[in-house]
Amino acid sequence: MIKTSLKTHWEDVYSTRGETSMSWYQAEPRLSLELIRDLAPTLGARIIDVGGGASVLVDRLLDLSFTRIAVLDIAETALARARSRLGNRAERVEWIAADVTEIEDVGIFDVWHDRAVFHFLTEESDRRRYVALARRTLPAGGLLMIACFADDGPRRCSDLDIRRYGAESMGAELGAEFALVRQARETHATPWNTSQAFFYGVFQRQ
């Protein structure tokens, strides 16, 4: 899919459907929060949710002790939804409308969270640009938390082809500058009660 139509795809998804009719919808991002609480240096740390969409993860992050919180997404409609839900609290968040494979710089963050975005990158060159940005964004010791469909998960998401991952294949994509520190599996129940197997990996920037 070419880039302009990719943005159109995601803007259409968010402008024509309610959140609870999207397969990835979570009322509570339980496992992400568990990993963040367990592993991230929440006191004074900076966190970015890459491809955060309209997820309520940002609402929960605002209740933790992060000093800097950003949400990046290609779909402005998704960011607008999250902002309006948060009301005044949205002012404490940096909202970045951008394609993660095209933006050159997002600043420096201690934690990079991505649930169900990297798996859409079917082009090798996009994956290389994504990893290069993560490398520039995270200082040594920083954490990259990434959730994708697992090796036995679905082959498509939001009508798009995806790539499935486990610890080894994700480690190979990220390269030697990221070391696996935790992995987990989640069986996500879609709003219509089908199951999707997710792999979660937490990698530390070397």
Contacts with ligand SAM by CB under 6 A lie at: 10, 24, 51-53, 55, 73-75, 78, 99-101, 115-117, 120, 157-158
Residue nearest to ligand SAM (CB): 53
CB-nearer residue toward ligand SAM: 8 or 42: 8
- Smallest gap, in angstroms, from Cβ of residue 6 to ligand SAM? 6
- Smallest gap, in angstroms, from Cβ of residue 75 to ligand SAM? 4
Residue 63: CB partners within 8 Å, gap ≥ 6? none
- Smallest gap, in angstroms, from Cβ of residue 100 to ligand SAM? 4
Q: Residue 65 to residues 27, 44, 69, 194: CA-CA distances in angstroms?
A: 22, 6, 10, 35
- Smallest gap, in angstroms, from Cβ of residue 165 to ligand SAM? 14
Query: To 5 degrees, how large is the angle CA 125–CA 96–CA 70?
Result: 105
Q: Work out the number of other CB atoms within 10 angstroms of the CB of residue 86.
A: 16
CB-nearer residue toward ligand SAM: 25 or 203: 25
Residue 90: CB partners within 8 Å, gap ≥ 6? 82, 83, 84
CB-nearer residue toward ligand SAM: 10 or 112: 10
Q: Is 161 helix (H, G, I), strand (E, B) or coil?
A: strand
- Smallest gap, in angstroms, from Cβ of residue 140 to ligand SAM? 25
CB-nearer residue toward ligand SAM: 53 or 142: 53
If you ran DSSP here, which 8-state letter would residue 16 be given?
H
Residue 137: CB partners within 8 Å, gap ≥ 6? 48, 106, 107, 108, 109, 112
CB-nearer residue toward ligand SAM: 141 or 184: 184
